[in-house]
A and B are shown apart, each in its own frame.
Chain A
Amino acid sequence: MVWTHRNLLDVDSLSREEMELLLDQAGHMDQLLDRPIRKVPALRGRLMVNIFFEPSTRTRVSFELAQKFLGADVVNWSASTSSTTKGETLRDTAWTLEAMGADAVVIRHGMSGAPWYLKNKLHRASVFNAGDGAHAHPTQALLDVYTLHKNIGPLDGKKVVIIGDVLHSRVVRSNARAFRTMGAQVVLSGPRTLMPKEVAALEVEFEPDPGKAVSGADAVYLLRIQKERQEAGLFPSEDEYHRRFGVGPEMLAKVGKKAFIMHPGPMNRGVEIASVLADGPESLILQQVRSGVAVRMALLFLCLGGEVSE
């Protein structure tokens, strides 16, 4: 199996074999993170530009750590301090980055498809999608697959239930695909006002009753509920959301077996998730954060053709 990708826009470009290769590589990186000196020179001298048009802390820091641990030069181009706010187009930004010699661009953008647009405009640099609109978040999906796989082994036939604001979530679109590619069954649940009209287009099952949905689950994955959705009238109150769709001990009891709890962060405690579960033994939430660094290291390493010189 040879890795041929130079970019990652979404997980649908990856076959199961490729995903396994990436997870395998992430395993090596994970071990590296346990060493006293975590830095390797695999991407030394390569210029990585992280360009975030939307506020993001964990994804940006995770990419930056991955780049630094691999020895790359890192520039954070934050949209609020760049000429973007002066009305520069993404096209001009792309060409500017390339003129500065970027080998890779990591982009987070509020608009669906922006990373595809960027890639079409760049001649040389690799593009990594760190989240676009409510469309895709491929590295989140890969780190989630890695984390769950690390805890329960192969995902074939395992049941992953994702509950929450599917309509506005980029995470769920990439995750549903990635978990399915690895052989898992994916079931979505949440209020119908937060579901796309054709859930079937995501090629997953939909069960409106979260209590039924979680039955027999191996992992329950909660999506972040944003305050503005309630203000937009998509559900009546956070309290009611928590009672109907939030996951606490009562909901967990309906699983009927041991299930892990996952969340992409940042969490709204007391809305989509009860604190007792977020901090409990079933929670993989902090493991997800750590896996993020390892998976992004593996991805950059494979796509940019770095060599391990030890």
Chain B
Amino acid sequence: MILKRAKLFDGKTLHPEPMDLEIREGRITALAPDLPVKDRDRVIRLSGKIVAPGFIDLHGHFRDPGQTWREDLISGSRAAAAGGYTLAVAMPNTNPPLDSPALIRYVKQRGANPEGARILPAGCVSKGRAGQKMAELGGMAQEGAVLFTDDGSPVARANLLRQALLYSLDLGVRIMEHPEETSLTSGAQVHEGRCSAVSGMTGFPEAAEVIGVSRGIALARETGCPIHLTHLSTAGALKEVRRAKADGLAVTCDVTPHHLTLSEEDVLSSGLSGVFKVNPPLRSLADVEALWEGLWDGTVDAIATDHAPYHQDEKDLPFQEAAFGIASYECAAALVLDRWEADSRPGPLERILAAFTSGPARVLPASLGPLGLIEEGLPADLTVLDLDRIVEVNPSSWQSKASLSPVAGRNLRGGPILTMVNGRVVFSALEGAEPDA
């Protein structure tokens, strides 16, 4: 197969001159400005559209096993592919939680869906995700766990987090921490600030996230272990990470598309609609600004979706009864690109693309091989983007089982039009490039 006249983002740089990519047996075999086409080659003409390394999501909820009315590994894998992702990490807060080698093997096998994105499992830090005893991190790493996290909650006790950081260091698998000081967030529903003041609902204070982040950084500093902090949502949290990075610590972090593009103002103007309910909550406009600032200055390593699908009956409820979570695979990249365009492109596209590709790749175990890059010889995991295409968000047509979205009905400019995993087209909205059957 030949991809003709692509604008190439190789994981680091966006090349100004159009390039061709040759793909044979699932790998990128040649990369040059004008490659010859052989008779039987399938040719996809891209006319200047962007080809990027396949998008990597560090944080998705696939609800499998145990909550498959919300999503499963197959529907989630298709949804991820339709959103431009070629690889996604499944969070372990399933039922039962992914806390043993056998469960890791289950997700790894079922997540190897040839018709969608590759799903790799994250394992729990604690047994039963209960925050008491360390789970079998070694066995889970051996079966293919790519992160360890008690996501949905922070690791309950600082001592356990400390031991897990030390124990996992030689496994090459990073701890991903959901930073939240839960004694400050009991009963919380929305951002503490304008939204809590006006709505009368209990707020999640910024300090709850900052304390969680500081705890993680302090333990990373003391143990010399890397740590990844997920779904950061406040200016204060990013400030802590920025300082830790300046000190040379192996601290990485991600932010979500919804925290980059929505705020507490949207919660208020929706009449307190439950579809906007998420933890961490949609924050102030100043926080949204700070997340973009962190993206531009390199404090933010990755954009991760925190795709959290629910059944309509769990979300279509008064705000305080609705479940926390936003499903976003099929609009995540589009949301970010649309906002970047609407704000008159306030920073370099390379930074955004890196946060979907090479940035998250660096958080994953080196044993997975090179990820988030386009180079000759690497597997052909690719995402094609069209920055001008305008698509309406229509959850009823999603591959995901989720059917509600806070941005339903919005027209978003820019997004993925083709996803390729190991040289196989798993999603395409590009004419003349139908998915491989």
CB of A3 within 8 Å of the partner chain: no
CB of B348 within 8 Å of the partner chain: no
CB of A111 within 8 Å of the partner chain: yes
Supposing A89-B313, A113-B271 touch, asked if A133 and B194 sit within 8 A by C-beta, the answer is: no
Instruction: Give Cα A114 to B198, complex, Å.
Output: 15
Stretch from B318-326, B338-346, B349-357, B424-432 that touches the partner = B318-326
CB of A308 within 8 Å of the partner chain: no
Taking a contact as CB atoms under 8 Å apart, the answer to whether A135 and B194 are in contact is no
CB of B408 within 8 Å of the partner chain: no
Total number of A residues with any Cβ neighbor in B under 8 Å: 27
Contacts of A169 in B (CB 8 A): 200
Q: Which of B265-294 contact A (CB under 8 A)?
A: 271-274
Instruction: Give Cα A113 to B189, complex, Å.
Output: 12
Taking a contact as CB atoms under 8 Å apart, the answer to whether A112 and B200 are in contact is yes
Expressed in whole angstroms, the minimum distance between the Cβ of B434 and any Cβ of chain A is: 40
CB of B65 within 8 Å of the partner chain: no
**Size band of the B side of the interface?**
20 to 34
Taking a contact as CB atoms under 8 Å apart, the answer to whether B194 and A113 are in contact is no
CB of A201 within 8 Å of the partner chain: yes
Taking a contact as CB atoms under 8 Å apart, the answer to whether B318 and A117 are in contact is yes
Taking a contact as CB atoms under 8 Å apart, the answer to whether B320 and A111 are in contact is yes
Contacts of A173 in B (CB 8 A): 198, 200
Q: Choose from A111, A120, A198, A202 the contact partner of B321 (Cβ within 8 Å).
A: A111
Contacts of B415 in A (CB 8 A): none
Taking a contact as CB atoms under 8 Å apart, the answer to whether B199 and A198 are in contact is no
Produce 1/0 per residue, A189-222, CB < 8 A to B.
0000000111101100000000000000000000
Closest residue of chain A to B267, judged by CB? A113
Expressed in whole angstroms, the minimum distance between the Cβ of A114 and any Cβ of chain B is: 4
Closest residue of chain A to B189, judged by CB? A112
Expressed in whole angstroms, the minimum distance between the Cβ of A99 and any Cβ of chain B is: 19
Taking a contact as CB atoms under 8 Å apart, the answer to whether A111 and B318 are in contact is yes
Expressed in whole angstroms, the minimum distance between the Cβ of A165 and any Cβ of chain B is: 11
Taking a contact as CB atoms under 8 Å apart, the answer to whether A135 and B318 are in contact is no
Contacts of B196 in A (CB 8 A): 196-198
Which residue among A112, A133, A134, A202 has the maximum number of chain B CB atoms within 10 Å of its CB?
A: A112
Taking a contact as CB atoms under 8 Å apart, the answer to whether B194 and A201 are in contact is yes
Contacts of A90 in B (CB 8 A): 317-318, 321
Supposing A113-B271, A113-B272, A197-B192 touch, asked if A134 and B201 sit within 8 A by C-beta, the answer is: yes
Taking a contact as CB atoms under 8 Å apart, the answer to whether B193 and A197 are in contact is yes
CB of A224 within 8 Å of the partner chain: no
Supposing A112-B272, A133-B200 touch, asked if A117 and B317 sit within 8 A by C-beta, the answer is: yes
Closest residue of chain A to B312, judged by CB? A91
Expressed in whole angstroms, the minimum distance between the Cβ of B195 and any Cβ of chain A is: 8
Instruction: Give Cα A117 to B97, complex, Å.
Output: 33
Residues of B within 8 A of A (CB): 189, 192-194, 196-201, 203, 205, 271-274, 313, 316-321
Given contacts A90-B318, A112-B318, 5 further A-B contacts (CB under 8 A): A89-B317, A112-B319, A114-B318, A116-B272, A198-B193
Residues of A within 8 A of B (CB): 9, 89-91, 109-114, 116-117, 120, 133-136, 168-170, 173, 196-199, 201-202
Among all A-B residue pairs, the 10 with the closest Cβ atoms: A134-B200, A113-B272, A196-B197, A116-B271, A201-B197, A111-B320, A201-B194, A135-B200, A114-B318, A111-B318
